Amino acid sequence: MATDELWTDRDDAELALAALPEGHPVRIVESFVTMLLGDSLQLEALAGFVTPEARDDWSDFSGARGYFMDQALASSTVALRHRGAADVAYVKLVPNVGPLVVARPRTDHVGFATLVWRRELGGWRVHAIGEPIPPALLPRTSRNDAPEYAGDRFVQVERD
């Protein structure tokens, strides 16, 4: 982090991320992406971040790696929680340009990480990257039984 004279929007974003509790959906996404973009793909470790039901969909994780490398994305510092399904969360993926912490939600998102709370697996798991997936299509085993975090926003996601 920078000194007071050199403080930037990126420092604000890093501070907001650091203030999130361990296990928060945004921190899970950040850890997953950091591992994806590492020097080598650690398949077993990456598999631990995703829902077992979607594991085969991720294949060798090279598609996800390319997605993040090609688009230079950052994650929002706010989790969107599904209204009526607190065990489902969405994290916006936004271009890594401009201010990273803003007063209003960013509308320039590229996609979302959809996460599911899995108590039996020890926490949040990434199910998919792309469009947000409605709860009815997700492998939910802990319906509405997930920790709540200050600052989360609630949304409704339906499929046409």
- Secondary structure element (H or E) that encloses residue 32, with its range: helix 25-36
96-107 residue pLDDT tens: 765 455 445 556
Answer whether residue 9 shows pLDDT above 80.
Answer: no
Instruction: Give whole-number Cα distances, 149 to 20, 22, 68, 153, in Å.
Output: 9, 11, 26, 9
16-40 residue pLDDT tens: 767 788 899 999 999 999 999 998 8
Q: Percent of the chain beyond pLDDT 70?
A: 83
pTM of the model: 0.83
The pLDDT assigned to 120 comes to 96
Under 8 Å between Cβ of 20 and 26: yes
Tell me the average pLDDT of the chain: 84
Please name the fold of domain 4-155: Nuclear Transport Factor 2; Chain: A, (3.10.450)
The pLDDT assigned to 4 comes to 62
The pLDDT assigned to 64 comes to 93
More confident call, 56 vs 105: 56
